Amino acid sequence: MKGLAPLFLGIFGTFAFSWVGLTVVPNLQIGQLNPQSDEEGTDIYPMPQSGMFERGARVYASNGCVYCHSQQVRADYAGADIERKWGDRRSAPRDYIFQRPVFLGKMRMGQDIANIGARAPAEQESPSPGGSPAGPSTAAAQTPASATAQSAAHGVQTPGAVAPAQSAGAASAGTSPAASPTSAPPKSAVVAAPGTSVASPSPGAPAVPAASPAAPTVTGAPWPEQTAGLPPMYSAAWHHVHLYSPRSINIDSNMPSYRFLYRMRRIGAGSRSDALQLTGSDAPPEGWEIVPTFEAKCLVAYLMALNQSHPLKEVRSAGPAAAASPVASPSTAPGGKPPK
Amino acid sequence: MNPAGIPLKEPSVVAAAGDTEQLERAIIDASTRVPVLIFYISAVAWLILGTLLAGFVSFKLHTPDLLSDVSFLTWGRVRPAHMNVMVYGWACMAGIGTAIWLMARLCRTVLRYPLLLVAAAGFWNLGVFLGLAGILLGDSTGYQWLEFPSYSAIILFVAYTLVASWTVLMFRFRRGEQIYITQWYLLGAFLWFPWLYAAGQLMLFVVPLQGVLQSAIGWWYANNLLFLWFGAIGLGTAYYMIPKVIGRPVYSYHLAMIGFWTYALFSSWTGMQRLVDGPFPAWMVTASIAATILTLIPVATVGLNHHMTMQGYFPLMRYSPTLRFTVFGAMSYTVFSLLGVLISLRSVARYVNFTQASIAYSHLGLYAFFTMVIFGSMYYIVPRLIGREWRYASLIKLHFWASAYGIGLMTLMLLAGGLAQGLSMENPSLAFSESVETVLPYLRGRSLSGILLTVSHFIFAYHFGLMIFGLGRKATVPTFLNPVEAEGTEAHI
């Protein structure tokens, strides 16, 4: 090859081609997504995240959780993620629009946690600041008895499903959907495309936000509701015990413990409400207790806000439940009558 | 062939009087001594640190309670620390060192503006050090391959800009019309890297893209760093070293040109295949899978070109350390690319996407291909800078075999383990923890390979240290791995 000009141009051209093709064009396509909402502009998903969520994401990044845990559910034809109950539907770009950084992950030495917040029990004694999720937990909180309606329930509980997780750590930040459903960007109403999917459960939704702590109790899930001597699985207290001593919960766990996120303190006038419920060899000596640092609380608030159970119009929900949802949702949710 | 007819060149520093070409090379080599050695010494220091971190990471992965109570030794911090030290500390610095030397040789001019390079090396080391400290103290950005916090990234970029501007300056002083194949690759690498790094940093941290596009940018950056930066330097070095050592021109210049342009075009479009079935428009992933398959064209042309150049000269690998490492690296490039195509196919990716197999892929590219080629080039270049020959052939042999078996074992373990892991993960009737249990024995095997690699790197660092302290052999013949038969008569023809 003679002359530098063609070489320079070629080198620049190939690079520019790739840059435009793989970053600029996708940015035009999915770079300015808005939250979706129904016609009334109430059932908004996803919602902007709280300050504690952001802090928790920093803790997640700095301790490298992403190297073992992915946060993406593949479609049913592409993997066994949905069969493993890691989610009811595949993840979509819109699920992540308020997240930075995004931790899609490339490794599953641990479970996928895209929906770990959705697995939290409905009733939880949230030890985190911001108080326990308030409000009546009766109306839509109950799980429909039939397994086929399970996904419908997820649909119905829409923003409420996000709420317990957020209010666990972040009600004070004022972004809880129940507290201020209008806090979403004003544009969001625009994206409520008219009936792109028959499976959309939006008719039932407006009634729901009042029942904020409604959490999707997954009936057929492979994890027990209660573990002996331990807090309910996937509750905030459980997360703290799990982070502090993973093998006290699952002997086969390969997760390192994160004891440096916790402090031992002498029990003063009274035990702190957020002290960890530890047993056996993990328990601190008499007169001492283990309490989470603020970082640990943020991390747990972050984990409990990871929830993609809200249906998206562009994504088909899994299984026959999707077809059942428009029928099931108006009958269960607005009436507020638990089918049990 | 008759080993006595071995055309291995004697070191140019002892060029016979009157041989102007040899003399000219010796002068150029001498002018590159300080900057190249600074880059090499830093690189070897980072290599040793990165190796220790690697062993720690590997053991912790199957022994999670090992020193886990100290925040800066938690697995999730040591792992990115290891990776970034290896990528930016060892691989980048060693690659730049080799590239500087090749540039001076191929521009056929003494190295100008050495202070620019010395400053760049200083900044680079500072950047890597700050980045490493940042990661260990919990300042990681959380984007894979770009974990260094912004204060480190800016320093690295400044250092890099110095190197790139030096390259362009050197080109202005070059003699001769012809631009050799190696220079295409080096010029490409030196120009692609700053654009790539700037694009990655800008689109993630300065004007961050929305949502999942951050992941897309991240993998686009990572794959292009692997191909357009490390790959280009590695291939360019191989294109120089193989013909140089065997004393024979490259088989086909046109084949090389096809290989270069298809490489630039197709490999730059890869990256999204790592996000297969993720929350992205399907066309992005499909485009990258197609591009990955198309990289078989440059792989075939480059591989064919090297093979035809080496045709009949393979027995020389018995003697020349440089040739042995370089050919191993060039062959690994083919394996690396074939594996890349295999694990990017959707039907395979379904099983191996979230497993250790992707770690195997990265190690094949960065170690079996790039690092081995760079080792080879260091065995060639360092004696020419110092004026001494490598002291012990046995240490070079040990280094080679420990590295080759180490990376071979690691790749096999991670691939087999990843496949087993993926197969149990995709079987929902098995508990998830079964998939982790399945891969643990393979991870212990990987730790074993890590011991081999540690041994190999310590041997190399020791040998390199001997050279730096002037304890190499004073000899007129290069250190051959095996004694050349009929030595003393025709050995250094």
ipTM computed for the complex: 0.90
For residue A86, list chain B residues with Cβ-Cβ distance below 8 A.
none
Q: Do B143 and A101 touch (CB under 8 A)?
A: yes
Closest residue to A15, CB basis, from B141, B192, B277: B192
Residues of A in contact with B444 (CB under 8 A): none
Q: In angstroms, what separates the C-alpha of B428 from chain A's closest C-alpha?
A: 6
* Residue A167 phi, psi dihedral angles, 5° rounding: -70, -20
CA-CA distances (angstroms) from residue B90 to B179, B403, B452?
Answer: 28, 15, 18
CA-to-CA distance for B308 and B91, rounded, in angstroms?
Answer: 28
Considering only CB atoms, which chain B residues are within 8 Å of A75? 277
> What are residue A290's DSSP bridge partners?
A264
A256 phi, psi to nearest 5 deg = -70, 155
CB contact under 8 A, B440 and A254: yes
Residue B67 near residue B73 (C-beta atoms within 8 A): yes
Q: Which of B176, B166, B114, B122 is nearest to B385 (CA)?
A: B114
Average pLDDT estimate for A29-52: 89
Give the DSSP H/E element, type plus range, for residue B452. Answer: helix B432-468
Q: Closest chain B residue to A59 measured between Cα atoms?
A: B138
Per-residue pLDDT, A100: 87
Of A11, A110, A111, the CB nearest to B264: A11
State how far residue B351 is from chain A, nearest Cα, in angstroms. 8
Interface check for B446 against chain A (CB to CB < 8 A): the answer is: no
Q: Give the H/E segment covering residue A11.
A: helix A4-19
Q: Quick check: B138 and A14 CB within 8 A?
A: no
CB contact under 8 A, A78 and B350: yes
Residues of A in contact with B74 (CB under 8 A): 63-64, 256, 258, 260
B44-to-A275, A340, B34, B363 alpha-carbon distances in Å: 48, 68, 15, 18
Predicted pLDDT of residue B68: 86
- CB count in 10 Å sphere of residue B43: 27
pLDDT tens, per residue, chain B with 493 residues: 444 444 454 444 444 545 788 888 999 999 999 999 999 999 999 999 999 999 999 999 999 988 888 999 999 999 999 999 999 999 999 999 999 999 999 999 999 899 999 999 999 999 999 999 999 999 999 999 999 999 999 999 999 999 999 998 888 888 877 889 999 999 999 999 999 999 999 999 999 999 999 999 999 999 999 999 999 999 999 999 999 999 999 999 999 999 999 999 999 999 999 999 999 999 999 999 999 999 999 999 999 999 999 999 999 999 999 999 999 999 999 999 999 999 999 999 999 999 999 999 999 999 999 999 999 999 999 999 999 999 999 999 999 999 999 999 999 999 999 999 999 999 999 999 999 999 999 999 999 999 999 999 999 999 999 999 999 998 878 889 988 764 444 434 3
Omega within 30 of 0 (cis) for the link into A121: no
Residue A256's closest chain B neighbor by CA? B64
> Which is it for the CA torsion B243, B246, B252, B256, positive or negative?
negative
User: What DSSP element (H or E) covers B421?
Assistant: helix B393-425
Query: Which structure tokens are listed for A213?
Result: 């702590």
Residues of chain B with C-beta less than 8 angstroms from the C-beta of A58: 142
Note whether A304 and A124 are within 8 A (CB): no
With DSSP H G I counted as helix, E B as strand and the rest as coil, what are the percentages for chain A, rounded to 5?
A: 40, 5, 55
List CB contacts (< 8 A) between B61 and chain A.
Answer: 109, 254
pTM: 0.83
Residue B469, SS3? coil
Q: Is there a contact between B278 and A74 if contact means CB atoms under 8 Å apart?
A: yes
